[in-house]
Amino acid sequence: MTDNPASKRIQDEIDTNDVVLFMKGNPVFPQCGFSAAVVQVLSEIGTKFKGIDVLEDPGLRDGIKVFSNWPTIPQLYVKGEFVGGCDIVREMYETGELQQLITEKGVATQSA
C-alpha cells in the first residue's frame, strides 16, 4: 500500500517480533484502559512482547488502522498475524484460545 507510509514500519515490526502490541502509552504506563487490559493479559500469560506507542507517531496511529482494517487501538499481532483488539484478546484469554495460539505459534511463555 503506497498510500500508507506507516505500512513498511508496521510490516518490519511484525516480521521481526513474535508478539507485537500497538497500544496507547507503553507497557509500563499504558495511557488507555483498553491497552492496559491487553498488557495485563499478556503479562499473565507470561509472554514477551514489544509494545509500540502509537501516541508518539500520528502517522502510525492512523496507519495501523488502515493496515489491519481495524478501527481501534490496541491491536495485537502474533507471528505477523493480526489477532484482534481488546475484546477479542480478552475473550480468547478467558477461553484459553490465546494461550493455545501463542503456544502453537512456538512463542515462549513463562507461566507464573
Partner 1 sequence: MAMSATEIEAMIKEAIPDAEVQISDLRGDGDHYAALVRAAAFKGISRVKQHQMVYDALQGRMGNELHALALQTAVPEDA
Q: For binding to partner 1 (CB under 8 A), which residues are involved?
A: 34, 65, 69-72, 82-88, 91-92
State whether residue 4 is helix, strand or coil.
coil
Q: Select 56 or 91, whichever has its Cβ closest to partner 1.
A: 91
3-state secondary structure string across 6-69:
CHHHHHHHHHHCCEEEEECECCCCECCHHHHHHHHHHHHHCECCEEEEHHHCHHHHHHHHHHHC
- Which residue shows C-alpha cell 495460539? 101
- In this structure, what C-alpha cell is assigned to residue 32? 488507555
CA dist 9 to 24, 60, 111, Å? 17, 9, 31
Report in angstroms how near the CB of residue 65 gets to partner 1 at its nearest. Answer: 7
Minimum distance from residue 87 beta carbon to partner 1 (Å): 5
CB nearer to partner 1: give 60 or 86. 86
> Is 59 or 108 the residue whose CB approaches partner 1 more closely?
59
Name which of 27 and 84 has its Cβ closer to partner 1: 84
Q: How far is the CB of 89 from partner 1 (least distance, A)?
A: 10
- Least separation in angstroms between residue 110's CB and partner 1 is 26
